[in-house]
Amino acid sequence: MIVITKISDMQKIMNEYRLERKTIGFVPTMGYLHEGHATLLREARRQNDIVVLSVFVNPLQFGPNEDFERYPRDIKRDEQIAQEAGVDVLFYPDVTEMYPRPLSVQVVVRERVDVLCGKSRPGHFDGVATVLTKLFNIVMPTRAYFGMKDAQQVAVVDGLIRDFHFPIELISVPTVREEDGLAKSSRNVYLSDEERKEAPALYEALQKAKIAIENGERNPAAICSLIEDHIKTNTHAVIDYVEVYSYPDLTPLQRLSGRIIIALAVRFTNARLIDNITLDVN
């Protein structure tokens, strides 16, 4: 595995791979890798000649009340996970390499951001889209891999690739779960023992909603109420939101049809957890 920190070196080696007609799978991350990231890397390894991982904690994604400095970092552990997953190139730039001067142009996301987690994080997805535009131009991958755990981010990336005509195939990878259904997340370690026992109720609630839809329920409000009731009955968590939208457009629905997303966010004492499922409703 090659570790590269400079954009010019990265572009040089990527050009060489493309001249050799190699397919390039790209997994962009902010590091502190876990099993979810490893799953993305293994999928990229399966489908491509070359696998590229980027580790960059992007300051543009952090709001005024979000501490960029405290974001967890462990590059040595990341390198080990990357190597085990078969990564060929690890791109690990610092902030001054990615942003050597104030930006004269920045990407602004106008759709798919005023719902779900985007509601409470204004400007967050502008930062995501801006850094991905830079990374896509540096790496120029054949395919880019994102986890459906953050389905709103996948929807935003879908719009970015489509609107800016990036010749990149977006691969969305299903959420990686623990045996009891809880979505894997670095935040799970902040749950108390009691909260960890309660947390699988989030996925249980989503599965109850899925069964209700399969049995003919088409009212979004009824689906949300079903989920909220299950969470309130089985956990001490505070519900941030339970929402149902079309997917990937993330527009409201009067009646469920087509591809939809059912998403939720809850707060335990020291952890905010998100989860979702997507369904095709006939």
- How do residues 25-74 score in pLDDT, each as one tens digit? 999 999 999 889 999 999 999 999 999 999 999 999 988 777 788 788 99
Domains of the chain listed by start with CATH number:
2-173 (3.40.50.620), 186-277 (3.30.1300.10)
Spatial separation of the C-alpha atoms in residues 274 and 119, rounded to whole Å? 14
149 annotated as ligand-binding: yes
Backbone angles phi and psi of 217, in degrees to 5: -70, 130
- How do residues 108-147 score in pLDDT, each as one tens digit? 999 999 999 999 888 999 999 999 999 999 999 999 999 9
Percent of the chain with pLDDT over 70: 100
What b-and-e string marks burial along 80-94, b requiring 16 or more CB atoms within 10 Å of the CB? ebbeebebbbbbbbe
CA distance from start to end of the chain: 46
35 annotated as ligand-binding: yes
* Alpha helices (runs of H) in the chain, residue ranges in sequence order: 7-19, 35-47, 75-84, 95-98, 124-139, 151-163, 193-198, 201-214, 220-234
37 annotated as ligand-binding: yes
Q: Known catalytic residue: 37? A: yes
Among residues 37, 165, 230, 236, the one annotated as catalytic is: 37
> pLDDT grade, residue 187 (50/70/90)?
confident
22 annotated as ligand-binding: no
> pLDDT grade, residue 85 (50/70/90)?
very high
